[in-house]
Each structure stands twice: as structure tokens, then as C-alpha cells.
Amino acid sequence: MIEASITPEQQAQTWLRRISKEMLSGQARVLLVRLFQLVAQISVFWFFAKTTHWVIVEQQNVLPEQLVPLACAALIWISLIWLADNLQSHSKYKIETELENRVHRVFKNKHIAITRQHSATYWQQLLLNNISDIGNYLIQYSVQKWLSAIAPLVALLVIFPINYVVAIILCVTMPLIPVFMVLVGKGAAALHRKHFIALERLGDMFSDRLKALTLITTSGQHQDQLKRLNDASNIVNRKTMSVVSIAFLSTTVLDFFATIAMALVAVFIGFSMLGEINIGPEISLEQGLFMLLTAPLLFSELRALGRFYHQKAKAEASAERFALLLDEYELLNNKAAFTGLAWLNFHVTTPNLHANKLTLEPGDWVSLQGNSGQGKTVLLEALMGFRASSHQLSADLALLSQQTAVLDKSVAFNLHLGDLSVTEHDMVNALQEVGLIDWLNNLSNGLATELGDCPALSGGEAQRLALARVLLKPKDVVLLDEPTAHLTIEQHQEIADLIHQKLQHKTVVWASHKTLPDTWFNRIWKVSHGEIKETP
């Protein structure tokens, strides 16, 4: 397979590039305003230098109208900062909302086929943290990256006509910065690789042991684990220090060039004015001061990029998750009446599942058999449309599994699930049919009782509630994925009988490890080694 040769990192990079391209307009707008902001700042410096020259060298009083350009430039500068920040936060909001929508679109298409793959904590992190990691990266880091490349050029461009010697000094030092930063970065990375395993394994030991608190408490090993933690953190700290002692040099290199360049420029300008150095054109205070103020702009944006650098690593880690999640699969949403299917060469690609022929007539009862892990659940999910497959079922479907999902809302909402056309009478009827009427009568507020407030439903009761939900919807085909797997034998028999009785006239595909009477079924689908065989 081609996909196998692409590492998750590369996939993440590709995804990050794609999303970056999609969100380009927001980024470009912020960048543009930031550039104008830079120009406004430079003009503030220019007018300031002019005024100072007037006071100190020309020794003339400043007239109010001379300050008007300075004040105007300053006001424009401040408003542009405001505008850029606003645009930035607006774009971030838009990007994050869009990403959130995409995640929900995937959820809406793949349902449990996707949510089952990770823990609830994973999804929490994805929606709460990873989305904003990407948002920050696109709108702060990416913009800053461009800015730190363009700002030095703008600064050089304005310094060059004033004094080419200063411009050349800066021009020569500038390329040295990336060179040194890359060298330092390589050194730090090599050192990090050397200690990688220890840092990776021992670094998370604290949160690991917190999660294991019950295990540690019950086995009475708190003291021993405390000692283990202490040893681990000593090792991690020692190794981390050796890595950061190199990594910090990167910041220092930047600091070095920024500070030294500033000091050199100041001394050069001063000496030129004194006539001690006679290289290049003559410099007035106005020009000298302007250059002194503008020169730091060559470095300040790069330094700001350094502050955002952690966003890059975070975004790359997050992108790995999104690259896996957000592919382009869309569910065809036909909800026609079920008229039966006869599929040839049906197949699901991930994981591999294939059937030469698959038949389902209206009113059929199919027993879906096979050992666990052979793909029964995958088949049912593919029938539901939660997984991409060669054929799609056009019918109104319901899937009952052992997870019944009781919502923390009223009993009524748990039955109609937002469909307000379902009447109270229907709901009471449904509860009557599944044998929960006594349970309902015991509730203080009847259907309006919040489920959080009433006694927890037992496994059997929850399954009855789930069945009542299905009965309330006009579903032609009901797929059953081990709805009784977690119940005791007696409960299994009761619930299975109830399901059989209530769904007799519907089309049913039932996967169960627990025994069910053969007489219920008129068709068998047997799954083994990725192949579905049917016997009518």
C-alpha cells in the first residue's frame, strides 16, 4: 500500500499545509495590517528624530504644528495595532469554529465507528485544546513567520538610502543569525535525541502515577512509588538541563546579534558624527537617531517568533490527530422505504471485509455470526453508513448496541430525542410496551423527570428504554449489535424475547454471542477472516 510509506508526521504536515492554504485570506489580512503597522511605526521614528534634531542640534523651539505629523503618525500606529489584534482574534475565532464544525461533521457521518476508536478524554482534548492549537499556529505563528522575514527587509530598505554603510553592516550580520540558530538547533536536537527515551518515558511519570493512584493505594506502595518518582525526576532534570543549556544558546545568539548590532551602530554613528570615522556619507543626528531606532526592528519580529515557537510543535502534534480524522468521506443520506437489497461484491476497505453476495429482504430476520474481532460490528457500521463501503443501504435504520446512552435530560427527551412531533401518549405507550410503565409511574414528575435525578437504570432497564426509543421512530430496519452482551443470562432471555416480540415485523440483523432460538431467523450471515458468507 502507498499509505503505509507515509509517516503520521508527513500526513500531519500535508494536512497543516492544506488547512493553512484554506485559511489564507484571514492570515493575509492580518499580515497586511501588521506590515502597515510597521510602516507607521517607522514613520513615528522618523518624525521623532526630526523633532529631536530640531531641539538639540538646531536649538530651536518646537512649534505645535511641528508636532502634528508625529501625533498623527502615532495615532495611526496605535489604531493599526488595534486593528491587527482585532483581525487576529476574529480570524482565530473563525478558524476554530470552522474546525469544530468539521469535527462534528465527521462525528455526524461516522458516529460510533469513529468515537469508539479513542477515549472520551481524547475527544475532549481534541475539541478543547487541539483546535485552538491549530488556530494559534495559523494566526500567530504563521503570520509572525512571514513578518519576521519581511520586517528586516523593510527596515533595511529605509536605512539603505540614508546610510549604506550601516545598511551593509546590518546586511552582513543578518544572514549569520539563521545560520547560528540552525547550528544551535541541530546541536540541541542531537542532544535531545540522545536523551529522548529517558525524557519521553520518565517525563510523564508524575501524571502516570496520579492516574494509577487507586492501584498504588490498594497495593500499599505509596512510599516506593514516591522514591521512584524522585529518582525519575532527578534523571529527567539532569538530562533536561543538559539539553536546554544548548537550546538556550539559540535565544542568546539572537540576543547577541541584536544587542551587538545596536551597540555597533550606535558607536559607528557617534564616531561618524564626531568625524573619527569617515566611511560613507555624513550623518546628522536626525539620520543617526532614526537608524538607531529602526535597527532593532530587524530583530524584534524574529524574537517574537521565538516566543511563539512552542505553537509550532503543538500544532504539529494536533495536526496528526486531525489528519487522521478529517478525511473527505460524506454519507449519502437517502431515507427511502426499505425494499430489500441484493448486493454483489460488497466490500469495506478499512478493515478489510468482503461478501460475494449479500441479500436482505424486507421482513427478514438475519442472524449475524462469527467470533469476536472478525468484523461483525464493522459490517453493521458499514450498513449504517458509519463506514465507507462499496454499497449503501437506502433505508431508515436504527442500531441497538450494548451502550444504551442515557442522556442527562428529561425522560421525555430521552424518548423523543428532540423530535417534538412525538406525543406524550406515544411515549407512555412505548414505555408500556417495553415494560417500563411501573418504573415511569414511580417517578415523581412522570415524563418530565430529569434522568439525573431518578434512581440509576439497571442494565436491563436501560436496554428497555433503548428499545422504546426505536419503537417510537418509524424505522424499517433494525440492526442489533450484542444488545444483551453485558446482561446476565436471565436478563438476556427476557430482553431478547421482548425484542423478538416487538420487532417481529421489521427487518432485523442481530449479532449475538449469547444463544438465541434458531427459529427466529430465516437467514444467516457468517463472518470469518474478513469474508461474509450467507446461508438463507
Partner 1 sequence: MREASSSNTIKAEVNAKPQGLKLVATLLLMLTHFAAGLAILIVASWFIAACSIAGMGFNYMLPAVVIRALAILRIASGYFSMLVGHNHLLNKLAALRLKIFAGLENKVSISREQSLDALHHQSEEVASIWIAWVGQNAGILLSLAMLNLVSIVLLPPLTTRVIIFTGIFMFIYLGLLIAMLKVSANIVAAKKQAQFAILQHIEAAPIWHLLHSYNKNAPRLNKLRELEAYQQRQVRNASLLLILSGMGLLITILSHYSGEYLGHAEFIVLPILLLSLNDWLTPALANQKQLVSYVEAKKAIQDTSTNTQDLSVISEHIDAIEVAKFKPIDTNMNETNAHFNKGGVNVLVGSSGAGKSRFLKALAGLIEHQGSRELEFTTHAQSKQHGLLSDAVYLEQFPYVLSDTVRANLQVANLNASDANMRQVLNEVGLYSLDNLDQWLGENSRLLSGGEKKRLGLARAMLSQASLLLLDEPFEALDTDNIKRISEIINTLSTNKIVLVATHILPKGLDIRQCCSLEVDEVRVVFDTKEQAN
Stretch 166-225 residues interacting with partner 1 (CB under 8 A): 200-201, 204-225
Q: Distances from the Cα of 485 to the Cαs of 213, 488, 489, 505, in angstroms?
A: 30, 8, 9, 24
- The piece of 164-172, 342-350, 417-425, 523-531 that touches partner 1 (CB under 8 A) is 417-425
Sign of torsion, CA 490 493 497 498?
positive
- Considering the rule CB under 8 A, would residue 240 count as an interface residue with partner 1? yes
- Considering the rule CB under 8 A, would residue 104 count as an interface residue with partner 1? yes
CA atoms within 13 A on the CB side of 136: 17
Q: How far apart are CA 520 and CA 249, in angstroms?
A: 75
Site for partner 1 in 8-47 (CB under 8 A): 44-45
Here the cell at position 259 is 544587542
Here the cell at position 176 is 549569520
Reduced to 3 states (helix: H, G, I; strand: E, B; else coil), residue 480 is strand
In the sheet where 507-511 sits, what is the strand order? 341-348, 353-360, 531-535, 523-528, 365-369, 507-511, 477-481, 397-401
- Considering the rule CB under 8 A, would residue 372 count as an interface residue with partner 1? yes
106 C-beta neighbours (distance < 10 Å), count: 18
Site for partner 1 in 469-528 (CB under 8 A): 469-470, 473, 486-489, 491
Q: Which of 76, 191, 292, 324 binds partner 1 (CB under 8 A)?
A: 292
| Comparison of 27 and 287: residue with beta carbon closer to partner 1 | 287
Q: How far apart are CA 162 and CA 49, in angstroms?
A: 13
- Considering the rule CB under 8 A, would residue 428 count as an interface residue with partner 1? no
Q: Across-strand partners of 480? A: 400, 510
| Comparison of 111 and 354: residue with beta carbon closer to partner 1 | 111
- Considering the rule CB under 8 A, would residue 227 count as an interface residue with partner 1? yes
- Considering the rule CB under 8 A, would residue 97 count as an interface residue with partner 1? yes
For residue 347, what is the DSSP state?
Answer: E
Nearest distance, CB of residue 128 and partner 1, angstroms: 6
- The piece of 77-85, 183-191, 387-395, 517-525 that touches partner 1 (CB under 8 A) is 77-85
Nearest distance, CB of residue 103 and partner 1, angstroms: 9
Sign of torsion, CA 485 486 487 488?
positive
For residue 435, what is the DSSP state?
Answer: T
| Comparison of 400 and 521: residue with beta carbon closer to partner 1 | 400
- Considering the rule CB under 8 A, would residue 111 count as an interface residue with partner 1? yes
Q: How far apart are CA 524 and CA 536, in angstroms?
A: 6
- The piece of 332-340, 405-413, 503-511, 528-536 that touches partner 1 (CB under 8 A) is 405-413
Nearest distance, CB of residue 336 and partner 1, angstroms: 16
- Are 499 and 483 contacting, i.e. CB atoms less than 8 angstroms apart? yes
- The piece of 153-161, 181-189, 291-299, 318-326 that touches partner 1 (CB under 8 A) is 291-299
- Are 490 and 484 contacting, i.e. CB atoms less than 8 angstroms apart? no
| Comparison of 103 and 156: residue with beta carbon closer to partner 1 | 103
- Considering the rule CB under 8 A, would residue 6 count as an interface residue with partner 1? no
- The piece of 17-25, 110-118, 173-181, 321-329 that touches partner 1 (CB under 8 A) is 110-118
- Considering the rule CB under 8 A, would residue 60 count as an interface residue with partner 1? yes
| Comparison of 32 and 206: residue with beta carbon closer to partner 1 | 206
- Considering the rule CB under 8 A, would residue 337 count as an interface residue with partner 1? no
Site for partner 1 in 123-142 (CB under 8 A): 123-124, 127-128, 131-132
- The piece of 184-192, 314-322, 332-340, 399-407 that touches partner 1 (CB under 8 A) is 399-407
Q: How far apart are CA 292 and CA 264, in angstroms?
A: 10
Q: Which of 466, 480, 509, 516 binds partner 1 (CB under 8 A)?
A: 466
Q: Which of 182, 226, 313, 448 binds partner 1 (CB under 8 A)?
A: 226
Q: How far apart are CA 505 and CA 291, in angstroms?
A: 87
Residue position matching grid coordinates 468515537: 115
Q: How far apart are CA 203 and CA 209, in angstroms?
A: 11
For residue 78, what is the DSSP state?
Answer: H
- Are 57 and 285 contacting, i.e. CB atoms less than 8 angstroms apart? yes
| Comparison of 300 and 429: residue with beta carbon closer to partner 1 | 300
Nearest distance, CB of residue 445 and partner 1, angstroms: 18
- Considering the rule CB under 8 A, would residue 397 count as an interface residue with partner 1? yes
